[in-house]
């Protein structure tokens, strides 16, 4: 089962959802804002990939952090901050079994969903 995590009004999430639908890929969608963060495997993502890959350092939410927060970032603080401000998470996140993919690129999605 494929799960796509993100925020429904995010342009990149919209592109990913459109790609999945055009390619007849069944998936469930978890909106960080509407569905909450309690069922999001954030700590697992952070353990496996590290905060550098999980957080979007080009986001407005990242730029809003203090310099101290940015320079002292680690997996623990990333989990706390991303739980409170899910727009810090790089979107979309697609999971299939034990596999996870961050962001959207059509070529990567084609390989991932096989």
Q: Which of 3, 7, 10, 29 is catalytic?
A: 10
Angle among Cα 86, 67, 93 to the nearest 5 degrees reads 25
Q: Is 83 helix (H, G, I), strand (E, B) or coil?
A: helix
Longest dimension (CA), the chain: 45
Residue 24, classed as helix, strand or coil, is coil
Q: Is 10 a catalytic residue?
A: yes
Token pair in block for residue 54: 């999980």
Give the residue numbers annotated as catalytic, written as ranges: 10
């Amino acid at each position: 089962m494929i799960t796509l995590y993100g925020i429904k009004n995010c342009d990149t999430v919209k592109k990913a959802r459109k790609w999945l639908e055009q390619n007849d890929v069944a998936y469930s969608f978890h909106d960080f804002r509407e569905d909450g963060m309690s069922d999001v495997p954030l700590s697992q993502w952070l353990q496996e990939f590290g905060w550098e890959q999980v957080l979007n350092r080009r986001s407005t939410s990242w730029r809003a952090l203090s310099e101290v927060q940015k320079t002292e970032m680690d997996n623990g603080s990333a989990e706390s901050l991303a739980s409170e401000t899910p727009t810090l998470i790089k979107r979309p996140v697609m999971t299939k079994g034990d596999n996870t993919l961050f962001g959207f690129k059509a070529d990567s999605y084609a390989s991932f969903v096989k």
